[in-house]
Amino acid sequence: DGGITQSPKYLFRKEGQNVTLSCEQNLNHDAMYWYRQDPGQGLRLIYYSQIVNDFQKGDIAEGYSVSREKKESFPLTVTSAQKNPTAFYLCASSMPSGGTDTQYFGPGTRLTVL
């Protein structure tokens, strides 16, 4: 998990509620990412940020929002517009360099909608 922390580890949400997942890194990485993982599947990119105060939509951004006000932090909000939010959410960070971009992952947050 390196220097990437995610909280909480488990999160329960009632339908219609927004929830925010925390991701913090102390690796001094410029880039940060949010992925969603469903059982038996690979990771799908939700949002990414290459630098502070900038972020871009990934492949499945609908129903999610992010902010990047600090280099160390990249919180993800799962809004009520996300139709099927129950999943395992992974945050990653990287320092792109010389054509390589190894992403290092946090421990994940498991979100369950009740």
Partner 1 sequence: GESVGLHLPTLSVQEGDNSIINCAYSNSASDYFIWYKQESGKGPQFIIDIRSNMDKRQGQRVTVLLNKTVKHLSLQIAATQPGDSAVYFCAENWVGGGYNKLIFGAGTRLAVHP
- Interface contacts to partner 1, rule CB under 8 A: 1, 4, 6, 31, 40-43, 45, 48, 50, 56, 90, 92, 94, 96, 99-108, 110
**At its nearest, how many Å lie between partner 1 and the CB of residue 88?**
8
Judged by beta carbon, residue 84 or residue 100, the one nearer partner 1 is 100
Judged by beta carbon, residue 50 or residue 80, the one nearer partner 1 is 50
**At its nearest, how many Å lie between partner 1 and the CB of residue 94?**
8
Residue 69, class by beta-carbon neighbours within 10 Å (0-12 exposed, 13-18 middle, 19+ buried)? exposed
Judged by beta carbon, residue 69 or residue 101, the one nearer partner 1 is 101
Which residue pairs, CB below 8 angstroms and at least 24 apart, start in 45-51? 46/76, 46/89, 47/76, 49/74, 50/96
DSSP helix/strand/coil, 43: strand
